[in-house]
Amino acid sequence: MDEFKRLNRELVYEGSIIDFYKDTIQVPNGNVVKWDFIGHKGAAAVLPVREDGKILMVRQFRNALDRYTLEIPAGGLNPGEPMIEAAARELQEETGFCSDNLEFLISIYTTVAFCNERIEIFVANQLKPGKQHLDEDEFINVEAYDVEELCQMIYEGKIEDSKTISAIMSYKNKYLK
């Protein structure tokens, strides 16, 4: 494979979740091009499974899409926070449930063309009810669905979030054969 060489990475904007860079890259034929790069600080997600097999989902407004979405609970990492601890924290914050039984399911990169966002997804069982701890800008409804209902929503285009689709399909394949 021919070599790509990064000649420069210029920070254009530093944010709380992402940093935006302009990269200067030499491509294999020798040409020099500019590429956008978004550096993401990492995230974790959790697929919470109730005793009855239903999966807890969160419905929340997403500014990027200007609409509500149905997703699994997820959020960014705090500095130095292990992924599994972030998943447990997001489960409790967004749904009010907690679990001492989190198991790794899958790791995904959400948009490899221009961003390094990596999300580790865990399955949570033996859920214990508690209280939501939402951020001041979060307004989340918690809903429960069985896997077949969620798959149908994926096929109908009602669930389009990549981490959620990856989690549901991986869970179905691994646990419900």
Read off φ and ψ for residue 170, nearest 5 degrees. -65, -45
Question: Do 143 and 60 have their domain in common?
Answer: yes
pLDDT tens-digit map of 69-88: 999 999 999 989 999 999 99
Question: Do 26 and 86 have their domain in common?
Answer: no
Question: Do 12 and 23 have their domain in common?
Answer: yes
pLDDT band at 1 (very low <50, low <70, confident <90, very high): low
Q: Tell me if 20 sits within 8 A of 38, measured CB to CB.
A: yes
Sheet containing strand 118-125, edge to edge, reads 74-76, 43-48, 118-125, 101-109
Question: Do 19 and 85 have their domain in common?
Answer: no
pLDDT tens-digit map of 32-59: 999 999 999 999 999 999 999 999 999 9
Report the CATH number at residue 60: 3.90.79.10
Question: Do 16 and 103 have their domain in common?
Answer: no
Question: Do 76 and 31 have their domain in common?
Answer: no
> What is the average pLDDT score of the chain?
95
Overall number of domains in the chain: 2
pLDDT band at 104 (very low <50, low <70, confident <90, very high): very high
Residue carrying the six token digits 């705090």:
78
**Mean pLDDT, rounded, for 19-39:** 96
The larger pLDDT score, comparing residue 23 to residue 138, is at 23
pLDDT for residue 163 is more than 70: yes
pLDDT band at 177 (very low <50, low <70, confident <90, very high): confident
Spot the catalytic one: 3, 51, 136, 156: 136
Tell me the β-bridge partners of 21. 11, 37
Question: Do 22 and 57 have their domain in common?
Answer: no
Q: What is the dihedral of CA 65, 71, 72, 75, to 10 degrees?
A: 20
* Domain boundaries, position 95: 43-175
Question: Do 50 and 62 have their domain in common?
Answer: yes
The predicted pLDDT at position 133 comes to: 84
User: The pTM is what?
Assistant: 0.92
Tell me the β-bridge partners of 62. 67
Question: Do 31 and 81 have their domain in common?
Answer: no
**Mean pLDDT, rounded, for 141-153:** 97
Cα-Cα end-to-end distance for the chain: 39
Known catalytic membership, residue 14:
no
Extract the runs of DSSP E, i.e. beta strands, from 41-145. Answer: 43-48, 55-62, 67-71, 74-76, 101-109, 118-125, 141-145
pLDDT for residue 137 is more than 90: no
Question: Do 83 and 168 have their domain in common?
Answer: yes
Under DSSP, is residue 110 helix (H, G, I), strand (E, B) or coil?
Answer: coil
The predicted pLDDT at position 8 comes to: 97
Question: Do 134 and 60 have their domain in common?
Answer: yes
Question: Do 77 and 140 have their domain in common?
Answer: yes
